[in-house]
Amino acid sequence: MTAPPGAPALGPARQIDWALTRGRDRALDDAIAALVAPGERVLDLGCGTGDLLLRLRMEKGIHERGIERDGDAVAEAIARGLAVVEGELGEWIGDLPAGSYDLVVLNQVLPLMEDPVAVIEGALRVGRRVAVSYPNFAHWRIRLTLGLCGRLPVNPALPYEWYNTPNIRLVTVNDFRRLCAQRRWRLVREAFVAPGAVGTAAPVRALPNLRASLALAVLERGD
């Protein structure tokens, strides 16, 4: 099997090509933008070059803040006039004042987290609402690849080989729902998409754990 187009050649494994996930990372922006009211305070944890924040500032006049650990992406975001800080997001939310944001976004960064539960707990402390998006590892195509070919997926939602993936956690829609129940996070809204024609994402309404490649969950603190 040939490498997907744009895949990094074999080389230093730590050099992660974030361009590969750009399409995936923007697939749920419409759904996230729909959660934001004009003038709100939005914290994007793992904001990359700030595409979402820039859009929200232009469309909704938000007060934006982004945290990102990739230095080049941070420089890009600041160059675009965004208030973005270079740092490890788990450490960063630690001492932000409670309730200081209307919405905290964790867009496709959950699989990269050493301790995703702590990050979400931190986000729920800092924000009134938390939007979490993630690739669904139970998508039927992945099940098929693994079941029939015995191979891990390399697709637009998970565009890396096992040896160069930045993802250290894999999650499914059912797993995430189960975690929310266990931790008593209120799951107030969900949205699911599957890749449609080139560059688009089609909404998925039925059987998301089987049919969605990307999921968005909106959480509120349960207690």
Interface pick for another protein out of 5, 14, 15, 95 (rule CB under 8 A): 95
Interface pick for another protein out of 20, 35, 45, 84 (rule CB under 8 A): 84
Q: Which DSSP string corresponds to 148-193? A: II-----BTTB-S-TTT------B-HHHHHHHHHHHT-EEEEEEEE
Interface pick for another protein out of 30, 59, 72, 115 (rule CB under 8 A): 72
From the list 32-40, 85-93, 112-120, 178-186, the region that binds another protein by CB under 8 A is 85-93
Q: What burial class does residue 129 get, using C-beta atoms within 10 Å of its C-beta: 0-12 exposed, 13-18 middle, 19+ buried?
A: buried
Residue 90 interacts with another protein (CB under 8 A): yes or no = no
Q: In the numeric block, which tokens belong to residue 73?
A: 């992406």
Cβ nearer to another protein, comparing 84 with 119: 84
From the list 30-38, 82-90, 135-143, 163-171, the region that binds another protein by CB under 8 A is 82-90
Nearest approach in angstroms of CB 98 to another protein is 12
Interface pick for another protein out of 7, 100, 169, 189 (rule CB under 8 A): 100
Please report how the helices 173-183 and 116-126 are oriented relative to each other, as an axis angle in degrees rounded to 10. 60
Cβ nearer to another protein, comparing 95 with 223: 95
Residue 208, amino acid: P
Q: What burial class does residue 16 get, using C-beta atoms within 10 Å of its C-beta: 0-12 exposed, 13-18 middle, 19+ buried?
A: middle
Query: End-to-end alpha-carbon separation of the chain, Å?
Result: 50
Tell me if residue 96 falls in helix, strand or coil: coil
Residue 61 interacts with another protein (CB under 8 A): yes or no = no
Number of residues lying near another protein (CB under 8 A): 20
From the list 96-104, 107-115, 132-140, 167-175, the region that binds another protein by CB under 8 A is 96-104
Residues that bind another protein (CB under 8 A): 71-72, 74-76, 78-87, 92, 95-97, 100
